[in-house]
Amino acid sequence: MRLPLLCTALLALTLTPPAAVLHAQTQPPLLALSEVVTLTQSDPAAALAKLDQVISQMPQDDARLTFDLFEMKAQILRDLGRTLEAAQTRAQLAVFAAGNRERLDIDPVPIWAAAAALFEEGGDLATARDALGEMKQQQRENGASADQLDATQAQIDRLTLALGEDVKEPLFAADNSTRGAFGTGGTAEYTEVDVYYATDRARSGETDPGAFYGYARGALDYGIATVTIPKIHQQGIVDAPSIWKLEFSENPAKHVVLQSITPVAVDAFFGAMSRELETRGADAAFVFIHGYNVAFDQAARRAAQIAYDMKFPGIPVLYSWPSRGSTAGYIADTAVVRLSGRRLSRFLDDMIDRSGAGTIHIVAHSMGNRALTDALELLALRRGLGSGSEPVFDQVLFAAPDVDADLFAEMMPTIRPVAKRLTLYASEQDWALATSKQLHGDAPRAGQGGGDMITRPEFDSVDMSLLGDDMLAHSYFADDSSALADMVALFWRNAAPNLRCGLEPVVEDGTTAPIWNYTPGSCSERALMAVLAHMQSEGVSDSAAARQILASTIADAATAEALQPVVDRLLSE
C-alpha cells in the first residue's frame, strides 16, 4: 500500500491502554466542532484550518473523537478539490478503524471503498486497486457473501486492465473460498438474530449491509436485519475485533456482525412479524431507539445484542433515525431527531395495531429519547389516553435521555398513561450529557444523575452512576449485564424498584418518589439473568417452580441460595 507515515501515527493510538480511555477527563470540543461545521458551508479552507487546530488540542486517547475529526478532514479536503489527500486520509481511517474495532464499532469495508473511489478519481489507479485489495480481505474475514466478493474482485480486475496489466485469474471470477463457509443460526459457532427495523434514513445506494443506510433523511423504510452473535459472546458486550488479541477484522465466530439487510414493504413487514410471533408462541416485542452518534449497522447490532443477552422470547425491533454517526454531527442530529419523532409516533401506532404483539416494550437511548418523548406525547393525545386508560405499552425505559430536564418532566403527565411503568436510567458520569448541558445554556438534561437527578411520581428514577464513566459511547444501560438484569425483571414481571435486586432508595425530605441507586455486583447479575430468562420462558409463577429452575440453572449452591430471595420478591406481586 502507498500509505503515508501518518497511518503509522494513527495506528499508534490503537496501543493506548484501555484504562487510559476509561479514565480520561477531557470533554470533546463540540462547541469548536460546531464552528467547523458552520465554516464548511461558507469557507472550507478556514474550516480546515480550524479543524487542524481542534485536532492539535484533542485528547490523544479518545479513538472515536480521533476517527470523527479525521473523517471531517477527509470530507473538507474532498470539498476543496484535494482529492488524493482526501483519499489518503480515508485509507488511514480504514486502517485506524480496523485497529480500533473494540472501541469504535465501525466496519472498515465501506471506508476502504470510499478511499478506493477517491484514489481512482484522483488518477492514482494503482493505489485504488491496493485499497480494493484491502477491502476484499476485510470482506473475506467478515464472512461476506460470494456475490459481494465477486463484485469487489470485478473492480480490482477493471483497474488492473486499465493499468495495462494482465488479470491473474479469470475476469470477475467467483471467489469460492467462502461459499458456504458460514451457515445459518444452527451452526456451532454463532446464532442468527433477526431484528425487524423501521427507519427514516435514506438508502445510500451501497449493497454492503454496513453501509446500506446512510444519514440522509428519507421516507420510512422497513425490513429485517440479520445479525450473528458468536457462541463465545459475553453478556453485555457487542464483540468486536481486539488489537490485544491480534484481531483486526470481523469474524462471525468471534464478533457480533450485521450479515444482511432485507427491505420489505410495510404490509409484508407486519405480516412477517405477526407470523413469527405465532410460530415462536410468543406475544412480546421490544422497540429500541438508538441515540446520537450511532450509525444504522451499530444500532442493529446493539438491538440484537440486547435481545440475545436477555434471552428475549419475542421479537427485537429497531427504529433508526438519521443520526450522522459522528461526534461532530451533534447539531445535525438535533435538527433531524424531532422530525423522526413524528414518524416514530405513527410507527408505534402500527406496532400496537398490526404487529400481533400483545406486549410491547420500548427502550430509548440518549438523543433517541427526544424522538420517543415527542412520539409518545403525540400518540397519547391522538388516542385520547388519560388517567384510567388501558396502557398500550408495557415497559418504557428512558436510558440516559438527552432531553431538557424541565421539558421531560412537563411531558410526563401526558405520557404516563401509555405504559404500565416508565423508568428513567441516569448517570452523573455521562460525558455526552454534560457536554449537551453546556450546549444548551447549562440547562440540566433528564439523563443526568447525582445531584441533577430528576424525580416525579409518573416514573421510577434509577441512578446508574456507580456503573462508571462510559465516555462518549454512554451506553452503560446495554453494556453492563447488571443493567440488563434489571431490564429483564421489568420486562418479565413489571417489578417495582423495591422488588428488584441492587436498588436502594434515597429518600429526601418532602420527596414522594424516591431516587433508586443501583449498586453493581450485588446480585450475581450474570447468573440472575440466566435464571430470570429461564423462568420467563417456562412461565414460572410460584416459588416452588422457581426453586426447581434455580437448581437446574445454577450449579453453585451458594449462588442459587443467594438468588432465591431475589426471585421470591419478583414473584410476590
- Confidence (pLDDT) at 86: 94
Higher pLDDT, 224 or 335: 224
If you average pLDDT over residues 99-107, what whole number do you get?
Answer: 75
The separation between the first and the last C-alpha atoms of the chain, rounded to the nearest angstrom, is: 64
Find cell 452523573 and name the residue.
428
If you average pLDDT over residues 359-385, what whole number do you get?
Answer: 96
Q: How many angstroms separate the CA atoms of 94 and 7, rounded?
A: 10
- Confidence (pLDDT) at 284: 96
Beta bridge partners of 505: 516
Per-residue pLDDT tens digits for 269-278: 999 999 999 9
Higher pLDDT, 114 or 331: 114
If you average pLDDT over residues 46-69, what whole number do you get?
Answer: 79
Q: Which one of 55-69, 136-150, 426-440 scores highest in mean pLDDT?
A: 136-150
Give CA angle at 211 (205, 213), nearest 5°. Answer: 65
Residue 464 sits at φ, ψ, to 5 deg, of: -100, 20
Query: Of all helices (H) and strands (E), which one includes residue 118?
Result: helix 109-121
pLDDT at 10 over 60: no
Q: How many angstroms separate the CA atoms of 526 and 444, rounded?
A: 33
pLDDT at 369 over 90: yes
pLDDT at 365 over 80: yes
Percent of the chain with pLDDT over 90: 44
CB atoms within 10 A of CB 141: 18
Higher pLDDT, 109 or 419: 419
Q: How many angstroms separate the CA atoms of 33 and 35, rounded?
A: 5
Residues 453, 426: contact at Cβ < 8 Å? yes
Q: How many angstroms separate the CA atoms of 423 and 401, rounded?
A: 11
3-state DSSP assignment of residue 179: coil
Residues 83, 118: contact at Cβ < 8 Å? yes
If you average pLDDT over residues 223-239, what whole number do you get?
Answer: 69
Q: Which one of 14-28, 300-314, 404-418 scores highest in mean pLDDT?
A: 404-418
pLDDT at 345 over 70: yes
Long-range contacts from 237-242, C-beta under 8 angstroms, 24+ separation? 237/305, 237/479, 238/105, 238/301, 238/302, 238/305, 238/479, 240/101, 240/102, 240/104, 240/105, 241/98, 241/101, 241/102, 242/101, 242/102
- Confidence (pLDDT) at 481: 52
Q: Which one of 4-8, 55-59, 90-94 scores highest in mean pLDDT?
A: 90-94
- Confidence (pLDDT) at 90: 93
pLDDT at 312 over 70: yes
- Confidence (pLDDT) at 430: 66
- Confidence (pLDDT) at 263: 96
Beta-sheet pairing, 393-399 with 359-365 = parallel
- Confidence (pLDDT) at 54: 81
Higher pLDDT, 164 or 361: 361
| Alpha-carbon dihedral angle through residues 476, 478, 484, 488, given to the nearest 10 degrees | 140
pLDDT at 30 over 80: no
- Confidence (pLDDT) at 252: 55
Cα 191 to chain center, whole Å?
19
pLDDT at 298 over 70: yes
DSSP track, 390-430:
PPSEEEEEEES--SBHHHHHHHHHHHGGGEEEEEEEE-TT-
Least confident of 99-103, 119-123, 509-513, 554-558: 509-513
- Confidence (pLDDT) at 59: 63
Give CA angle at 336 (330, 338), nearest 5°. Answer: 110
* Exposure b/e, 448-486, CB count within 10 A at least 16 = b: bbeebbbbbebbbbbbbbbbebbbbbbbbbbbbbbbbbb
Least confident of 90-94, 366-370, 380-384, 443-447: 443-447
- Confidence (pLDDT) at 98: 85
Per-residue pLDDT tens digits for 492-502: 999 999 999 98
If you average pLDDT over residues 515-531, what whole number do you get?
Answer: 85
Per the prediction, the chain carries an average pLDDT of 81
If you average pLDDT over residues 220-232, what whole number do you get?
Answer: 89
Q: What is the pTM of this model?
A: 0.75
What sign does the dihedral 502-364-366-477 (CA atoms) show? positive
Q: Which one of 251-260, 346-355, 478-487, 494-503 scores highest in mean pLDDT?
A: 346-355
- Confidence (pLDDT) at 271: 97
Nearest to 374 by CA among 407, 419, 399, 397: 407
If you average pLDDT over residues 100-104, what whole number do you get?
Answer: 72
Beta bridge partners of 203: 213
Q: How many angstroms separate the CA atoms of 546 and 549, rounded?
A: 5
pLDDT at 410 over 70: yes
Least confident of 70-84, 241-255, 341-355, 410-424: 241-255
- Confidence (pLDDT) at 434: 65
Long-range contacts from 95-99, C-beta under 8 angstroms, 24+ separation? 95/3, 95/7, 95/10, 95/11, 96/7, 96/10, 96/11, 96/13, 96/14, 96/63, 96/66, 96/67, 96/70, 97/67, 98/138, 98/241, 98/248, 98/249, 99/11, 99/14, 99/243, 99/248
- Confidence (pLDDT) at 466: 80
Per-residue pLDDT tens digits for 144-178: 777 888 889 999 999 999 998 887 654 444 444 33
Q: How many angstroms separate the CA atoms of 30 and 331, rounded?
A: 9
Per-residue confidence at 470, pLDDT binned at 50, 70, 90? very low
pLDDT at 327 over 80: no
3-state DSSP assignment of residue 62: coil
- Confidence (pLDDT) at 236: 42
- Confidence (pLDDT) at 366: 87
Residues 6+ apart with CB under 8 A from 217: 200, 201, 202, 322, 336, 339
Q: Decide: residue 383, CB within 10 A, 0-12 exposed, 13-18 middle, 19+ buried.
A: middle
